[in-house]
Amino acid sequence: MPQNLPRLGFSVGDLAGIGPEVIYKTLLDERLLKICTPVIYGTATALFDDFPTPTDAEHLTFRQLRDAADIAPGRLNAVTCWEEDFALAPGQPSPATGQAARESLLAASRDLKAGKLDALVTAPISKDNTQADDFRFPGHTEFLTSYFGAPESLMFLVDEGLRIATVTGHIPLKDVPARLTPELLRTKISLLLKSLKQDFGILKPRVAVLGLNPHAGENGLLGSEEGDVVTPVIQQFAQDGHLVFGPFPADGYFGTQQFRQFDATLALYHDQGLIPFKLMAFERGVNFTAGLPVVRTSPDHGTAYGLAGQFKAEESSFRAAVYLACEVWQQRWEAAQPRSVR
């Protein structure tokens, strides 16, 4: 076992959303300090002193730092990311909250790359409000893939009994068929198999691949992508000794709970995977970015501006993201040790 607990960076997301609240509620549980050292990226004042909480809410005490090299185990740490004060109105995103989200994410990512952190948990951002001249990414996944130099990554939604990854992510639905090439599909299946082994300790994973069209194309009657792209790729993986099956019609596959027969499901586009996942695991699911050289997780929900400031947001998904980050880090750490040490 490692002598030190993993140092988890928390980027705060859009401060006008529920990010501060779910972080606050997660950190109220002191048991968290027994599994990790939390490092919040943003001033404690902007995050929690100005944060609307019930009058009887417990006050959290942070060790405010300039440099993550000075973080203290067993304490709540906060790294200063901006100096200026700005008005914060829950539920009302502004250029200032978008800038704060960018600065928090960039600072945490820099420290993760520099080895000052062991993993990153990201609170929700507004994809629109976060855009800037120096930040043109549709989401965390795309930014982190670029920042850490990964050729490809995999959006991987995780719950205790349900794992769903997606081939394509934040792109228009009309662009999915052209994006779905044999090369991309092979890459995503390979990333999924590797992550199930490396990050989840499954030695011989069973993976199901969904079809693109209704009824998985109905033998070409409802679309040709299954016969032209999906089936040949699956057959090649099977010939190479991997347990990859499909393509399955998505409606029947989830309707009959066939997903329980597999270690993971690969959906071909964003909503095909996220709709059933959020239906079954919305309050506890985690978005994990597989394929990166670093560990990154996030809750499976967005900024929820309509809930901000009411202290009604459910923190279970963010807490699960913290737990999963620790578990994946532990799994990778153990795998990296010489056999004599394990």
pLDDT at 44 over 70: no
Q: What's the confidence (pLDDT) of residue 130?
A: 92
**CA R_g for the chain:** 21
- Label residue 1 by pLDDT band (50, 70, 90): very low
Mean pLDDT of 192-203: 96
Same-domain pairing of 2 and 144: yes
Query: Strands 7-11, 295-299: parallel, antiparallel or unpaired by DSSP?
Result: unpaired
User: Which residue type sits at 310?
Assistant: Q
Q: What's the confidence (pLDDT) of residue 221?
A: 81
pLDDT at 341 over 70: no
| Structural domain range at position 43 | 1-150+292-342
Same-domain pairing of 199 and 116: no
pTM score of the predicted model = 0.92
Give the residue from 127, 48, 145, 133 showing the smallest Cα distance to 88: 48
Same-domain pairing of 269 and 307: no
Higher-confidence residue of 160 and 242: namely 242
Same-domain pairing of 307 and 285: no
Same-domain pairing of 183 and 275: yes
Q: Find out whether 286 and 298 touch, Cβ atoms under 8 Å.
A: yes
Average pLDDT, the chain: 91
Query: Strands 154-159, 286-290: parallel, antiparallel or unpaired by DSSP?
Result: antiparallel
Query: Strands 295-299, 286-290: parallel, antiparallel or unpaired by DSSP?
Result: antiparallel
Lowest-confidence region among 113-127, 176-190, 209-223: 209-223
Same-domain pairing of 47 and 94: yes
Q: DSSP strand E in the chain: where?
A: 7-11, 37-41, 63-65, 77-79, 119-122, 154-159, 162-166, 206-210, 243-248, 264-267, 286-290, 295-299
Residue 10's DSSP bridge partners are 40, 121
Q: What's the confidence (pLDDT) of residue 2?
A: 54
Total tally of structural domains belonging to the chain: 2
Q: What's the confidence (pLDDT) of residue 278?
A: 93
Instruction: Express each pLDDT in 276-300 by its tens digit.
Output: 999 999 889 999 999 999 999 999 9
- Can you give the CATH number for the domain in which 22 is found? 3.40.718.10
Q: What's the confidence (pLDDT) of residue 158?
A: 97
